[in-house]
Structure 1
Amino acid sequence: MKSNPYAAIQSKYESFPKVSRRIADFILENPERVCSISIQQMARELDIAESSIIRFCKQIDCSGFSEMKLLLAKYAPQSIHTIFEDLSETDTVTSITKNVFGRNIDTLQRALDLLDFEKVEQATALMSQAKRIVALGVGASGSIASDFYIRLMRVGIQAEAFTDSHLMQIAASQAGPETVFFGITHTGKTREIVTALELARSRGAKTISMTGYPDTPVKRVSDICMELYSPLQLFVSPRVAQVTLLDSLYVSLSIRQKNQVVENIQKMNDALADFRLS
């Protein structure tokens, strides 16, 4: 199935060269018009070569201009409603809530459209073979890393999480070949995460990362780098897609050792029973 071109544009926008960004801006601002004009007209309006537009089409995984127009038309109604619609002071709490839910649902769909499932399979296989999984994150990504660690611990998978920059460097310095370090950085440029993964890798550990942009520094120090669609709009958080992907990894790992996981969950419930009010 072909990817949603709007999602592809927004996911890859930061890595586009100058001409490609001009084309991307034109498409995002005039989606209906692009669907009704020829490549020659678009080239004239942007004062660029037709070959630049063809190259852009391939950058967003379309075979050519015609296919891009078809996909823009296919995905335009939902994209325009949930991505380009602004909120105002006159909106009610109900309408704002519906809008935010719509944006998050759209983010999940776009992330799913662009997800490289082969990398998800590889990441799952790598973690299932590890004796220990170490999740890393700072700031908002730190809370996501901690949540992933808690989920893994609940089912008996040996895991840790570090959100302090010094502690993650110490952990990385003591890494070994039976450990997987999992770095979470939305920008892919967080220095603490990149240096920790690089150090852990030099000690023989396997490294996995999750980021919102392609071709970032964290990719260069990762055995597997999962790139998620990243919304550019204010108030549209990438967190919903990040947490959902981690949930998918957590469930995939659990299913691979189902009997042991069921036993561990029962042990957890027994241990926590006295702490729950009746």
Structure 2
Amino acid sequence: MSSENVIDMIYSNLSAMTQTDKKIAQSILKNPGDAVNYTISELASKSSVSEASVSRFCKNLQLTGFHQLKIELAKVSDDESSYYKVVNIDNIQQAITNIKDNKNSEISNTLASIDTSTIKKVMKLIESSRIFQIAAEGNTFPVVEDASYRFNQIGILTICSESWETSIGQTLNLASDDVLMVISNSGESKRLLKQIRIAKKKGIKVIAITNRNDSPIALEAEYHLRTAVRQKVLQSEYYFSRVAAMTVVETIFLLLIAKDRKRLSRITEHEAIISDTKI
């Protein structure tokens, strides 16, 4: 089992689970504090599946069995930051509070999952790169635009493009001393996988930000930073949030400034140049 807590593990694997595993996952996620006290037969009954299905569910999470699942749940059962809180429009104030709690949970669990050794290597790669390219698709691209703005501000030449065709063209012009960062919630984008493979053929190091350690994009990249996602969209099992990915980007940005305070002068210079465009 990886260092991520079992609730994060369930959330990150939810979209790839079988329908049977999803039933078990939802029974656990509904209230991990209750689930820790279930017997295997109780969890099976509440999920409308067999006990054998519960055992397979545990194996699919790389756990040794139901006993280890209970041990891992016990570690987080009292930690409400691990839970997803339902957003119900019938009570706006409570809905706002629950959204706040979900977002706080995404940030705290994302930061808690960052490996110190990995983040140091990622920082070294980025600051020593000739060109830093960042790529994403669809509704993740605003994270890339924000990242590009930030890193250019502190003196790291960063490029990106919302057009995948243009982004591929940029990758083809990179050299082995450049770096490609790919941001993907699911880590399963066929286009981004193709872009990573093109970069690797050119000897370019790849950093991935996804919410699954075993996602195809995470496995292709040299370095992976995992996000923790809690915000469920509508009533589906689909979880998406830009907050977690932006948290990783901003963490790298702030650590690079902390490492070299001279980067602050670059921000000041940039702000001074654009200040006369403000009212």
TM-score category of the 2 structures, normalised to the smaller one: 0.7 to 0.9
Q: Secondary structure at the match of 2:214?
A: coil
Given residue 71 of structure 1, which amino acid in structure 2 is its aligned partner? K
- Which residues of structure 1 form unaligned runs of 5+? none
Matched with 1:247 is 250
Cα–Cα, structure 1 residues 172 and 62, in superposed 2: closer, same or farther, change >3 Å?
Answer: farther
CA contact (8 A) 2:10 2:61 kept: no
**For residues 19 and 73 of structure 1, do their structure 2 counterparts lie closer, same or farther at Cα, with a shift above 3 Å needed?**
same
In structure 2, the residue corresponding to 1:210 is in which secondary structure?
strand
1:220-235 pair list within 5 angstroms: 220-231=219-230, 233-234=232-233
For residue 233 of structure 1, report the CA deviation from its aligned partner: 1.1
Instruction: Tell whether the 8 Å contact from 2:9 to 2:61 is kept in structure 1 after alignment.
Output: no
Q: Find 2:72's aligned residue among 60, 68, 74.
A: 68
Unaligned runs of 5+ in 2: none
- 1:91 deviation in Å? 2.1
* Correspondence 1:186-225 to 2 at 5 A: 186-225=185-224
In structure 2, C-alpha distance between the alignment counterparts of 1:4 and 1:12, rounded to whole Å: 12
Q: CA deviation at 1:258?
A: 2.1
Equivalent position of 1:8 in the other structure? 9
Q: CA deviation at 1:146?
A: 1.1
Question: Aligned pairs, how many?
Answer: 270
1:91 aligns with 2:91: yes
Report the Cα offset of residue 102 of structure 1. 2.0
CA drift at 1:8:
2.4
Against the structure 1 CA distance between its residues 71 and 154, is the aligned structure 2 distance closer, same or farther, given a 3 Å change threshold? same
Tell me the distance in 1 between the aligned counterparts of 2:270 and 2:136. 26
Cα distance in 2 for partners of 1:60, 1:152 equals 43
Write the letter of the residue equivalent to 2:26.
Answer: D
Give the Å deviation of 1:273.
Answer: 3.6
Secondary structure of the residue that 1:258 maps to in structure 2?
A: coil
Cα distance change of structure 1 residues 198 and 192 upon mapping to structure 2, 3 Å threshold: same
Report the identity percentage: 15
- Give the Cα–Cα distance (whole angstroms) in 2 for the partners of residues 8 and 216 of structure 1: 12
Task: Give the Å deviation of 1:182.
Answer: 0.9
Question: Shift of the alpha carbon at 1:243?
Answer: 0.6
User: Which residue of the partner structure matches residue 269 of structure 2?
Assistant: 267
| Residues 95 and 144 (structure 1), Cα distance of their counterparts in 2 relative to 1, 3 Å cut | same
Q: Which has the larger radius of gyration?
A: 1
| Paired position in structure 1 for 2:155 | 156
Structure 1 residues 14-23 or 116-125, which shifts more? 14-23
Query: Please, what TM-score do these two structures have when normalized by structure 1?
Result: 0.82
